Structure 1
Amino acid sequence: MSTTTRTNDAPLLEVTDLVVDYRNGRRSYRAVRGVSFKLERGRTMGLVGESGSGKSTIGRAILGLAPVTDGSVRFRGDELATMKRSQRRALSDQIQVIFQDPYSSLDITKTIGYTLAEPLNHHERLTREQTHQRIRDMVRRVGLPEESIHRYPAQFSGGQRQRIAIARALIGNPTFVVCDEPVSALDLSIQAEVMNLLAELQKSMGLALLFISHDLSVVRHISDDLVVLKDGLAVEQGSAEDMYANPSHPYTQSLLAASPVPDPQAQAERRRLRQAAAAGSHAPTQTPTLERI
């Protein structure tokens, strides 16, 4: 494993010229093509793009679930791409993930209390009472009653199960969490509740979040910075506020135009922009590169 000198000024996460290829026999597909960004401690980076843009692949590469063909992924100065499995496991208390489907990510045969105790038993030396207290505290923090710890995943709604998944990811006090489309499977009203919960926990716990979504309007309210992805390339990146107010790339403009708003006139203007962007996408253009961001 390569080593670096760690400093307090170094980014918590630094992705540099990341390339990810998927192979099927002799054929290969380049899912991510030279993406770079930095995530500071306590901040939230949004990765936004349509299906096939490479956003979830980037998250999986950071987690060690997708191959890194080229480039660098560093966490606290250490290269993740070349780490051994034992080294990655040692980092699992600091790097966590919240997946899109909470039901499939939870063991349906285990109670919620058992599920939340597992990471504590693996990483920390706590007494039985200390473990139970941490579990009770975490369940309350995600807005569930204490008696939830005695129940099973099938006894909860989709929104409640996602709160349980959030509790499991955060109970070990990580510094960095990958949120891979964590609200896309939920109803709109429940989405807002879960997003508000994540924002509150991010602030109170000082978490750094990588928030992956296909919906620009979803990530806007939780992200400090955004990277917009298309066909494996980062076509635009910057502060969330600036990009939402004045997106410069036509693809970013089309994503924003696809987000519904309650004002009919504003919605009509977004529809016009989306149609213009779609028409322009058929014109021959140069392949975008990171150097032009």
Structure 2
Amino acid sequence: MADIRTLRDAVASLVHDGDTVAMEGFTHLIPFAAAHEVIRQGITDLTLVRMTLDVIYDQLIGAGLVRKLVFSWGGNPGVGSLHRFRDAVENGWPRPLELDEHSHAGMANRYVAGASRLPFAVLRGYRGSDIPSRTDTVSTVVCPFTGEELAAVAAVNPDVTVIHAQRADRHGNVQLWGLVGVQKEAALAADRVLVTVEEIVDELAPVPDSVVLPSWTVDAVAVVPNGAHPSYASGYSVRDNAFYQDWDPIARDRETFRRWLDEQVRKQPEGAR
């Protein structure tokens, strides 16, 4: 059964220096509060995995905690570039950044293979792309039945996956719904799983198209209302579009970003919004 813990304790026990960490959520249910706790604790030398590299990882990169990214897209959604990400790639500030870039289909299949405890996944993709020449996690296989050559992508198995969800029950069963990405696959692929939730309830009422992660797949649950801000949690909060627009000038300048990090993350108590 998953333990119900404070966010501080859950991060300290489950996320370690040098870990491969997946923080998933597509537009919705992005675990910003957990990422901020990682920053406060200074957990470093991380390999971060995510399908849509966006503001959450821009903040972790700018904090100097990331040595490598495994991803399939990068940008500030609806606004433009990620300036802390670009500064790290182009100028090595605050530290050089190793990249392993994939297509969305490739990353999704890597998670599926990891969740299935298979060494790789097979898909039709990457043909005509130069990505296979720049990574050792894409290769080809020949179908034993048809002789067709297909792309193969290595499974990804994070040390820890962190997601946000709407609710959990007192046994640690987690329920999420709405715009769901690869949270289920990322959780099942990982060695350890931390879930932040809007609330703990006595019983998980059925919700159309919801995903339920049983407690045996989760190591810790932390109650963090509004823990996805500035993204949103369907049924609980709305997307803070102004934040994403405001992030652009904050992230463009190193000193402005440093001040923001100190004032809005490092000096804030756990779960503050």
TM-score normalised by the chain length of structure 1: 0.28
TM-score normalised by the chain length of structure 2: 0.29
Which structure shows the bigger proportion of residues in helix conformation?
Answer: 1
| Larger-Rg structure | 1
